[in-house]
């Protein structure tokens, strides 16, 4: 679980505050804090549900749910999905490695053919990712993510900045305010109803430099 500020550059430009949660292999949630009640978008691996406050406003099956692509991207960039069956990986040839990295690989998922590129710096940290993403109302396409500002959070070193590009133009800059790895509150049931995912604070994250 993460609390983030995101500077959005297109469609709805401005500074947005969000809570993002992810649970392996395919659970994902956004809470968008607004001047009124928060907007919640929850995907439990089967169904996407949207809420304003605690009022349900829509449901979508997983086969067409936009958050399914966000869950898959989170699983890939956390490297979890690369350990699962059905996602063989192949090393990138040196001339295909992005200029901000020293090595890379691609993974293709057998269930839908989605392809992801991951590239790593000399420390072995993921600094570049590309893959399919659904972003209504912008549509579906390839998102490019560049990760930076790595800090220690418990036993991981995680990026606290991510710059997103979509359809060939800058999409958003995301800055993590706090991160809570392995939070016991992030259970599968928490992705079915709003307000089940409590705030993540830096104190719970056990951050280090």
Tell me the pTM. 0.90
The predicted-structure confidence for 116-161, as pLDDT tens digits, reads as follows: 999 999 999 999 999 999 998 899 999 999 999 999 998 889 999 9
pLDDT at position 144 is 97
- Per-residue pLDDT at 46: 95
Domain that holds residue 169: 2-208
Task: Report the domain count for the chain.
Answer: 1
Per-residue tokens: 180: 């809570």
pLDDT at 209: 40
Kindly tell me the burial class for residue 15, based on how many C-beta atoms sit within 10 Å of its own C-beta (0-12, 13-18, 19 or more).
Answer: exposed
Beta strands in the chain (DSSP E): 2-8, 14-23, 27-33, 39-43, 47-52, 55-61, 89-91, 103-108, 115-120, 126-135, 139-153, 156-166, 169-179, 207-208
Distance CA 176, CA 153 (A): 12
Q: How far apart are CA 194 and CA 199, in angstroms?
A: 12
Of residues 182 and 126, the one with the higher pLDDT is 126
Tell me how many degrees the CA angle 99-104-107 measures, rounded to the nearest 5: 135
Task: Report the share of the chain in percent with pLDDT over 70.
Answer: 96
Please give the structure tokens belonging to residue 32.
């968008």
pLDDT of residue 33: 94
Q: Which residues contact 84 (CB under 8 A, 6 or more apart)?
A: 25
Label residue 202 by pLDDT band (50, 70, 90).
low
**Phi-psi sector, 2: left (phi>0), alpha (psi -120 to 50), beta:** beta
Domain at 125, CATH number: 2.50.20
In the chain, the N- to C-terminal Cα span, in Å, equals 19
């Amino acid at each position: 679980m993460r609390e983030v500020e995101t500077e959005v550059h297109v469609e709805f430009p401005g500074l947005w505050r969000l809570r993002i949660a992810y649970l392996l292999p395919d659970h994902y949630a956004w809470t968008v804090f607004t001047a009124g009640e928060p907007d919640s978008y929850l995907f439990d691996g089967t169904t996407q549900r949207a809420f304003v406050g605690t009022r349900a406003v829509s449901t979508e099956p997983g086969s067409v749910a936009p958050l399914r692509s966000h869950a898959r991207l989170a699983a890939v960039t956390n490297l979890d999905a690369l350990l699962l069956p059905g996602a063989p990986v192949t090393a990138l040839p040196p001339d295909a490695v992005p200029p901000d990295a020293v090595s890379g690989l691609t993974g293709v998922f057998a269930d839908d053919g989605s392809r992801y590129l991951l590239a790593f710096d000399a420390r072995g940290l993921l600094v570049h990712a590309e893959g399919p993403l659904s972003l209504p109302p912008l549509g579906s396409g390839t998102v490019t993510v560049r990760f930076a500002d790595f800090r220690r959070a418990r036993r991981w070193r995680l990026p606290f900045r991510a710059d997103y590009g979509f359809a060939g133009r800058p999409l958003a800059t995301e800055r993590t305010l706090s991160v809570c790895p392995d939070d016991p509150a992030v259970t599968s049931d928490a992705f079915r109803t709003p307000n089940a995912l409590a705030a993540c604070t830096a104190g719970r994250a056990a951050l280090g430099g």
